[in-house]
A = this chain, B = another copy of it.
Amino acid sequence: MDKFFEAISAFSNLKNDSKQALSLILKRVEFPKGHILIKENTICNYVYFVEKGLTRTYYYKSGKDVTDWISAENSFACSIISFITRKPDRRIIELLEPSVIWSLYHRDLENLYPKYHDIENLGRRMAELGLTQVQQRFDDLHFSTALQRYKTLLKDTPSYINRVPLGILASYLGMTQETLSRMRAKI
Protein backbone atom coordinates (compact mmCIF):
# COMPACT_ATOMS: atom_id res chain seq x y z
CA MET A 1 0.00 0.00 0.00
CA ASP A 2 2.98 2.28 0.60
CA LYS A 3 3.67 2.30 -3.13
CA PHE A 4 0.23 3.71 -3.76
CA PHE A 5 0.54 6.51 -1.24
CA GLU A 6 4.01 7.25 -2.48
CA ALA A 7 2.67 7.61 -6.01
CA ILE A 8 -0.17 9.93 -5.10
CA SER A 9 2.03 12.01 -2.82
CA ALA A 10 3.36 13.58 -6.01
CA PHE A 11 0.21 15.64 -6.36
CA SER A 12 -1.62 15.41 -3.09
CA ASN A 13 -0.98 15.90 0.57
CA LEU A 14 -3.55 13.96 2.51
CA LYS A 15 -4.23 14.51 6.18
CA ASN A 16 -3.87 11.48 8.39
CA ASP A 17 -7.56 10.78 8.79
CA SER A 18 -8.16 11.03 5.03
CA LYS A 19 -5.24 8.75 4.37
CA GLN A 20 -6.65 6.34 6.90
CA ALA A 21 -10.11 6.44 5.30
CA LEU A 22 -8.63 5.90 1.87
CA SER A 23 -6.50 3.00 3.01
CA LEU A 24 -9.64 1.28 4.29
CA ILE A 25 -11.20 1.14 0.83
CA LEU A 26 -8.00 0.12 -0.97
CA LYS A 27 -8.09 -3.60 -1.79
CA ARG A 28 -5.05 -5.60 -2.77
CA VAL A 29 -5.49 -8.24 -5.45
CA GLU A 30 -3.07 -10.48 -7.25
CA PHE A 31 -3.74 -12.15 -10.59
CA PRO A 32 -1.91 -14.26 -13.18
CA LYS A 33 -0.99 -13.16 -16.69
CA GLY A 34 -4.01 -13.11 -18.97
CA HIS A 35 -6.49 -12.30 -16.20
CA ILE A 36 -9.31 -9.97 -17.24
CA LEU A 37 -9.91 -7.06 -14.86
CA ILE A 38 -12.81 -5.54 -16.81
CA LYS A 39 -14.98 -7.43 -19.27
CA GLU A 40 -16.28 -6.01 -22.53
CA ASN A 41 -19.46 -3.92 -22.39
CA THR A 42 -19.62 -3.64 -18.65
CA ILE A 43 -19.47 -0.65 -16.35
CA CYS A 44 -16.00 -0.10 -14.96
CA ASN A 45 -16.37 0.22 -11.20
CA TYR A 46 -12.72 0.33 -10.30
CA VAL A 47 -9.60 2.35 -10.70
CA TYR A 48 -6.57 0.10 -10.51
CA PHE A 49 -3.16 1.03 -9.27
CA VAL A 50 -0.43 -1.27 -10.56
CA GLU A 51 2.13 -2.02 -7.85
CA LYS A 52 3.79 -4.75 -9.87
CA GLY A 53 3.08 -6.08 -13.33
CA LEU A 54 1.62 -4.78 -16.57
CA THR A 55 -1.89 -4.21 -17.93
CA ARG A 56 -3.35 -3.25 -21.24
CA THR A 57 -6.70 -1.70 -22.05
CA TYR A 58 -8.07 -2.62 -25.45
CA TYR A 59 -11.26 -2.95 -27.47
CA TYR A 60 -12.53 -4.28 -30.75
CA LYS A 61 -13.01 -1.71 -33.49
CA SER A 62 -14.52 -3.12 -36.70
CA GLY A 63 -13.29 -6.52 -35.61
CA LYS A 64 -9.74 -5.34 -34.98
CA ASP A 65 -8.01 -5.49 -31.63
CA VAL A 66 -7.02 -1.92 -30.68
CA THR A 67 -4.81 -1.29 -27.67
CA ASP A 68 -5.83 1.95 -26.03
CA TRP A 69 -3.59 2.13 -23.01
CA ILE A 70 -0.77 0.32 -21.24
CA SER A 71 -0.04 0.65 -17.52
CA ALA A 72 3.09 -0.54 -15.77
CA GLU A 73 4.31 -0.20 -12.18
CA ASN A 74 3.20 2.88 -10.24
CA SER A 75 0.58 3.92 -12.72
CA PHE A 76 -3.17 3.62 -13.00
CA ALA A 77 -5.38 1.49 -15.21
CA CYS A 78 -9.04 2.22 -15.75
CA SER A 79 -11.73 2.20 -18.41
CA ILE A 80 -11.98 5.92 -17.92
CA ILE A 81 -15.06 6.89 -19.90
CA SER A 82 -17.08 4.13 -18.30
CA PHE A 83 -15.79 4.90 -14.82
CA ILE A 84 -16.78 8.54 -15.16
CA THR A 85 -20.02 8.28 -17.11
CA ARG A 86 -21.22 5.10 -15.35
CA LYS A 87 -22.06 3.53 -18.68
CA PRO A 88 -20.85 0.23 -20.16
CA ASP A 89 -17.92 0.49 -22.54
CA ARG A 90 -16.31 -1.82 -25.06
CA ARG A 91 -12.95 -1.52 -23.31
CA ILE A 92 -11.39 -4.63 -21.76
CA ILE A 93 -8.50 -4.57 -19.29
CA GLU A 94 -6.23 -7.59 -19.18
CA LEU A 95 -2.95 -8.41 -17.49
CA LEU A 96 0.09 -8.84 -19.70
CA GLU A 97 2.11 -10.09 -16.73
CA PRO A 98 1.23 -11.58 -13.35
CA SER A 99 0.41 -8.48 -11.31
CA VAL A 100 -0.13 -7.00 -7.89
CA ILE A 101 -2.95 -4.50 -8.06
CA TRP A 102 -4.62 -2.11 -5.62
CA SER A 103 -8.21 -1.43 -6.54
CA LEU A 104 -10.50 1.45 -5.61
CA TYR A 105 -14.21 0.83 -5.84
CA HIS A 106 -16.12 3.68 -7.47
CA ARG A 107 -18.86 3.84 -4.89
CA ASP A 108 -16.45 3.78 -1.96
CA LEU A 109 -14.58 6.65 -3.53
CA GLU A 110 -17.78 8.61 -4.18
CA ASN A 111 -18.63 8.17 -0.53
CA LEU A 112 -15.32 9.60 0.59
CA TYR A 113 -15.40 12.63 -1.69
CA PRO A 114 -18.05 14.61 0.22
CA LYS A 115 -16.60 13.61 3.57
CA TYR A 116 -12.97 14.50 2.93
CA HIS A 117 -12.19 17.66 1.06
CA ASP A 118 -8.61 16.61 0.46
CA ILE A 119 -9.70 13.33 -1.13
CA GLU A 120 -11.92 15.35 -3.44
CA ASN A 121 -8.80 17.35 -4.21
CA LEU A 122 -6.92 14.14 -4.91
CA GLY A 123 -9.71 13.10 -7.27
CA ARG A 124 -9.40 16.37 -9.13
CA ARG A 125 -5.63 16.03 -9.39
CA MET A 126 -5.91 12.52 -10.69
CA ALA A 127 -8.46 13.53 -13.31
CA GLU A 128 -6.16 16.39 -14.30
CA LEU A 129 -3.20 14.06 -14.57
CA GLY A 130 -5.21 11.67 -16.72
CA LEU A 131 -6.33 14.56 -18.87
CA THR A 132 -2.79 15.72 -19.60
CA GLN A 133 -1.71 12.17 -20.37
CA VAL A 134 -4.53 11.50 -22.83
CA GLN A 135 -4.01 14.91 -24.41
CA GLN A 136 -0.32 14.16 -24.93
CA ARG A 137 -1.13 10.84 -26.47
CA PHE A 138 -3.65 12.53 -28.73
CA ASP A 139 -1.05 15.07 -29.82
CA ASP A 140 1.32 12.26 -30.65
CA LEU A 141 -1.22 10.69 -33.00
CA HIS A 142 -2.36 13.94 -34.59
CA PHE A 143 -0.43 14.42 -37.84
CA SER A 144 2.58 12.33 -36.82
CA THR A 145 4.27 9.65 -38.85
CA ALA A 146 4.80 6.10 -37.64
CA LEU A 147 8.48 6.87 -37.10
CA GLN A 148 7.73 9.93 -34.99
CA ARG A 149 5.36 7.95 -32.80
CA TYR A 150 7.95 5.22 -32.34
CA LYS A 151 10.49 7.83 -31.32
CA THR A 152 8.07 9.27 -28.76
CA LEU A 153 7.74 5.80 -27.30
CA LEU A 154 11.51 5.43 -27.12
CA LYS A 155 11.69 8.72 -25.27
CA ASP A 156 8.70 8.44 -22.94
CA THR A 157 8.22 4.76 -22.18
CA PRO A 158 11.20 2.80 -23.51
CA SER A 159 10.59 0.01 -21.00
CA TYR A 160 7.52 -1.09 -22.96
CA ILE A 161 9.73 -2.23 -25.83
CA ASN A 162 11.07 -5.26 -24.03
CA ARG A 163 7.94 -6.07 -22.05
CA VAL A 164 5.01 -5.63 -24.41
CA PRO A 165 4.49 -8.03 -27.34
CA LEU A 166 5.18 -6.30 -30.64
CA GLY A 167 1.68 -6.62 -32.07
CA ILE A 168 0.13 -4.99 -29.01
CA LEU A 169 2.72 -2.26 -28.92
CA ALA A 170 2.13 -1.52 -32.60
CA SER A 171 -1.60 -1.24 -32.02
CA TYR A 172 -0.96 1.06 -29.06
CA LEU A 173 1.05 3.26 -31.41
CA GLY A 174 -1.58 3.16 -34.14
CA MET A 175 0.34 1.12 -36.70
CA THR A 176 0.65 -2.49 -37.82
CA GLN A 177 3.09 -4.95 -36.34
CA GLU A 178 5.01 -5.05 -39.63
CA THR A 179 5.44 -1.29 -39.67
CA LEU A 180 6.67 -1.21 -36.08
CA SER A 181 9.14 -3.98 -36.89
CA ARG A 182 10.46 -1.89 -39.77
CA MET A 183 10.66 1.30 -37.68
CA ARG A 184 12.64 -0.63 -35.11
CA ALA A 185 15.02 -1.93 -37.80
CA LYS A 186 15.53 1.65 -38.95
CA ILE A 187 16.92 2.68 -35.53
Contacts and interface: CB of A to CB of B under 8 A. Distances in A.
A28 interface: no
A171 B61 CA distance: 23
Q: Report copies per complex.
A: 2
A182 interface: no
Interface stretch (A36-44, A128-136, A158-166): A128-136
A135 to B, nearest CB: 5
Interface string A115-151: 0010011011001111110111111011110000000
A117 B121 CA distance: 9
Interface string A17-29: 0000000000000
A186 interface: no
Interface stretch (A1-9, A45-53, A80-88, A100-108): A80-88
Given A113-B121, A124-B123, A142-B141, A132 B64 contact: no
Given A113-B121, A127-B124, A128-B127, A134 B143 contact: no
Contacts of A68: 139, 142
